[in-house]
Amino acid sequence: MKKRKGGQADISIATAGHIDHGKTTLVQAITGVWTSKYTEELRRGITIKLGYALTTIWKRKNVDPPSCYFSALETEEDADPLRKISFVDVPGHEMLMTVMISGAELVDGCLFVIAANEPCPRPQTKEHLKVLEICGIRNIVIAQNKIDTVDRERAKENYEEIKNFIQGTIAEDAPIIPVSAQFSVNIDVLLEAIERFIPTPERDLESDPLFLIARSFDVNLTGKDPEKLIGGVIGGVLKRGKLKVGDEIEIRPGFIDEKGNWEPIFTKIESISAGDELIDEAAPGGSIGIATQLDPYLTKEDRLVGNVAGKPDRLPPVFNHLELDITLLERVVGTEKELEMAPLQKKEKLLINAWTAKSIGVIERIGDGVEVSLKYPICIEEGERVAISRRIAGKWRLAGYGIIG
């Protein structure tokens, strides 16, 4: 049996699109992994938390494209491994937009899923495309899914709807690949498009490491011998630099002490995993899990999501207030009927998504910029772009973005 392309994934690719358009099914068709693993997700049939799945894209020798492309972690075929990919399956439901925004911050490209059996665009289709624009994700492949549920004429009509929808947007030049995730139809064509349109970017390996925490876990089973407990685990991606087993790391903003102050956390890396493989050193690319010496109580139930990890005293500052240069969308997206975006108001509450962190902010001043006080502090660099959501019709709706001054 040929060895799979080992180690960490080369790139991370998000899925995006309206609820029930088949994102999780498509990831399963490509990777063999069903990413919705939590009880509530299985009960409701939707993705609630970020899901992850690994695969390798292979190219058969002496076979013409697109049939030469296939995905598997291992193979006995006469084929060469091209790239190992980490898929980040993000929620499509309107009430889970903040999770989707966090997922978009972690990836190098996007597999945008649009169902052929519904009119295009649907509300979250529009909203997710705006998220990709705000996050600057330009490498996009569109999967026109569920072609098995419509006739040829409807498939062609839907294709034209998609073309009209993406015209003038960040996805204008993205290929549109008709697929059936349910029956694994045209997956080879989709893999060829991923290879062509979502390249592996150049990585910054020399700067101080910056690790964005998107998940955190207690992996110990109930009733385990206290002397055999495993330290808390954090999951996410490195934006830059390298981390290796044995490194001392700092986590900011950290946790709230007994006096109500936020204190950074210091710990040591015990192991690093990429999928089901242990690696000695991690670099920017696919998602990884880092086992630490932390009390697992600190990491259970995603308690450290939104934090940033790196070398001690080498992380970005922690902000309790933000000075933002805000750009609002012209209209509210994510609703059946688009409303005109109203001007910001002093004392208005905003939902701020910064890297993988989210915090409620209150507008304190509106002038050349907008000053926002934060309910929860955020560790981030000046000049970074954050997503802004407003409370509209009883729900948080994507409203625009702000640049940290």
pLDDT tens, position by position, for the chain (405 residues)? Answer: 454 445 789 999 988 888 787 888 999 999 988 764 433 333 333 333 567 788 999 999 999 999 999 999 888 789 999 999 998 887 644 444 555 565 566 789 999 999 999 999 998 898 889 888 888 889 999 999 999 999 999 999 999 999 999 999 999 999 999 999 999 999 999 999 999 999 999 999 999 999 999 899 898 988 778 778 889 999 998 999 999 999 999 999 999 888 889 999 999 999 999 888 899 999 999 889 999 999 999 999 999 999 999 999 999 999 999 999 999 999 888 777 778 999 999 999 999 999 999 999 999 999 989 999 999 999 999 999 898 999 988 888 889 999 999
Backbone angles phi, psi at 54, to 5 degrees: -110, 145
Question: Smallest Cα–Cα separation from 143: which of 107, 171, 170, 168?
Answer: 171
Q: Are 78 and 181 found together in one domain?
A: yes
Domain residue limits at 322? 318-404
Asked if residue 38 is part of any domain, the answer here is yes
178 contact partners, CB below 8 Å, separation of at least 6:
116, 144, 147, 155, 159, 186
Q: Are strands 140-145 and 370-379 parallel, antiparallel or unpaired?
A: unpaired
Question: Smallest Cα–Cα separation from 282: which of 207, 211, 357?
Answer: 211
Give the CATH number for residue 144.
3.40.50.300
Q: Are 329 and 396 found together in one domain?
A: yes
| Alpha carbon 19 to its chain's center | 16
| Overall number of domains in the chain | 3
Asked if residue 203 is part of any domain, the answer here is no
What pLDDT is recorded for position 6? 57
- Could you tell me where the DSSP H helices lie in 13-82? 23-31, 39-44
Torsion-angle region of 32 (φ positive above 0: left; ψ -120 to 50: alpha; else: beta) = left
Separation of alpha carbons 107 and 220, rounded Å: 29
Separation of alpha carbons 27 and 181, rounded Å: 8
What pLDDT is recorded for position 242? 97
What pLDDT is recorded for position 377? 97
Report, in angstroms and rounded to the nearest whole number, the Rg of the chain calculated over CA atoms. 21
Question: Smallest Cα–Cα separation from 236: which of 381, 129, 380, 106?
Answer: 106
DSSP state letters, 99-135? HHHHHHTT-SEEEEEEETTS-S--HHHHHHHHHHHHH
Task: Specify the residue for token string 């206290």.
Answer: 226
The per-residue pLDDT for range 303-348, each reduced to its tens digit, is 999 999 999 999 999 999 999 999 999 988 877 777 899 999 999 9
What pLDDT is recorded for position 186? 97
Task: Specify the residue for token string 């649907």.
Answer: 122
What pLDDT is recorded for position 287? 87
Separation of alpha carbons 107 and 84, rounded Å: 14
Which residue type sits at 329? L
Question: Smallest Cα–Cα separation from 388: which of 400, 372, 374?
Answer: 400
What pLDDT is recorded for position 227? 77
Q: Are 239 and 370 found together in one domain?
A: no
Among the three residues 294, 310, 326, which one is the final residue of a domain in this structure?
310
Q: Are 105 and 188 found together in one domain?
A: yes
Q: Are 265 and 143 found together in one domain?
A: no
Question: Smallest Cα–Cα separation from 321: which of 382, 389, 269, 367?
Answer: 382
Give the CATH number for residue 336.
2.40.30.10
What pLDDT is recorded for position 89? 80
Q: Are 265 and 339 found together in one domain?
A: no
Contact between 27 and 92 under an 8 Å Cβ cutoff? The reply is no
What pLDDT is recorded for position 366? 96
Q: Are 251 and 120 found together in one domain?
A: no
What pLDDT is recorded for position 36? 46
Contact between 404 and 384 under an 8 Å Cβ cutoff? The reply is yes
Q: Are 306 and 339 found together in one domain?
A: no
Burial of 246-263, coded b for 16+ CB within 10 Å and e otherwise, reads ebebbbbbbeeeeeeeee
Asked if residue 56 is part of any domain, the answer here is yes
Q: Are 289 and 166 found together in one domain?
A: no
> DSSP class of residue 340?
B
